[in-house]
Amino acid sequence: MSTAVYPGTFDPITYGHIDVAERAAKVFSELIILVMNNRAKAQTMFSVEERVSMIRNVFSNIPNIRISSYHGLLVDYARSTGHNVIIRGLRAVSDFEYEMTMAAANRRMYDPFDTFFLMTDTKYSFISSSLVKEIAVNGGKIDPWVPESVKWEILKKIEN
Ligand code: COA
């Protein structure tokens, strides 16, 4: 059984992430979407539990996608679970340097670690979670970028 892990902050998950996850789930027999914290993003809109719950909802109809969360280093997760194959999406050349640095650092810390990259569909190559939140906070329509269930969670947060 080949398992891959798709880690990210997912604050919140967008159609760009969903596109990558669905394609990875066709290649690997099991895909674990791993909700983590990125120290550079200290202020998330959603807690880890909220992000996990939103993502579960989105993938409830795909049986080989499992959702989990982890606090700490990704390599420690890989070491403790034996899941060494990591999926990341690349949207544009601008993602490359960041992703290459992370993949190299992870590999250096834990040799069996391998990162597989999937190109995000060009329809979603310019969106990001921050952009979606920015549009929503300013009253713009976010329907093209996030599923309905995620949209409502964002709107609820903005109202509170
Ligand atoms: N489509 C659309 N947007 C995408 C995307 C895609 N396919 N892939 C990434 N993005 C966007 C996200 O929306 C997000 O936007 P934002 O910056 O506005 O929030 C950004 O690109 C990247 O976010 P995401 O993919 O959710 O993850 P991340 O880069 O925040 O996650 C971790 C990085 C969590 C994997 C990394 O910080 C980590 O491993 N942390 C654990 C600690 C650790 O091991 N650190 C050492 C790393 S060497």
pLDDT of residue 94: 81
Domains of the chain: 3-125 (3.40.50.620)
Tokens 């066709």, located at residue: 26
pLDDT above 80 (res 42): no
Q: What is the pLDDT of residues 2-15, one digit of tens each?
A: 999 999 999 999 99
* Cα distance between residue 76 and residue 32, in whole Å: 15
Average pLDDT, the chain: 95
Q: Quick check: is 41 catalytic? A: yes
Single out the residue of 2, 85, 13, 8 nearest to residue 56, CA to CA: 13
Query: Which is more confidently placed, 142 or 43?
Result: 142
The per-residue pLDDT for 37 is 86
Residue closest by Cα to atom 20 of ligand 1: 128
pLDDT of residue 39: 81
Q: What is the pLDDT of residue 143?
A: 97
**Pocket-testing residue among 32, 74, 109, 127, ligand 1, by greatest number of atoms within 8 A of Cβ:** 74
Q: Which amino acid is at 140?
A: G
